[in-house]
């Protein structure tokens, strides 16, 4: 039986669910903005496509999502890893040791 109190509680609950849904949608939109394709990495960071593929195979870059034949990465992670890789390469570390430092 639905009385006034139960109706108000249900109404408040449904409104909070709607609000949570909107927040989740906003988070998903925000998350989608941070995804970057391998081609965009090539253009934005000025590195060859083969390097992106090689770094993905070594485990430096993790594919967040695949959309058809496109690999999508987290842009923030790519930026951080490229900075760290460049720093370690300039210090003379080989990729094998850089992999151990980045991945653990």
| Distance in angstroms between the alpha carbons of the first and the last residue of the chain | 59
Residue 36 β-bridge partners: 73
What's the pTM value of the predicted model, to 2 decimals?
A: 0.66
Domain count, the chain: 1
36-92 residue pLDDT tens: 999 999 999 999 999 999 999 999 999 999 989 999 999 999 999 999 999 999 999
Domain CATH code at residue 38: 1.10.1660.10
| Alpha-carbon distances of 15 from 5, 18, 29, rounded to whole Å | 15, 5, 21
Phi, psi for 60 (deg, rounded to 5) = -65, -40
Q: Domain range spanning residue 55?
A: 4-103
Average pLDDT over residues 91-97: 93
| pLDDT at residue 23, as a whole number | 47
């Amino acid at each position: 039986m639905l009385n006034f109190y139960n109706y108000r509680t249900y109404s408040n609950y449904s409104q909070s669910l709607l609000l949570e849904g909107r927040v989740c949608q906003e988070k998903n939109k925000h998350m989608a903005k941070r995804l970057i394709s391998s081609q965009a990495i090539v253009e934005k960071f000025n590195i060859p496509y083969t390097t992106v593929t090689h770094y993905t195979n070594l485990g430096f870059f993790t594919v967040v999502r695949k959309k058809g034949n496109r690999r999508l990465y987290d842009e923030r992670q790519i930026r951080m890893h490229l900075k760290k890789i460049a720093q370690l390469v300039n210090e003379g570390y080989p990729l094998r040791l850089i992999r151990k430092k980045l991945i653990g």
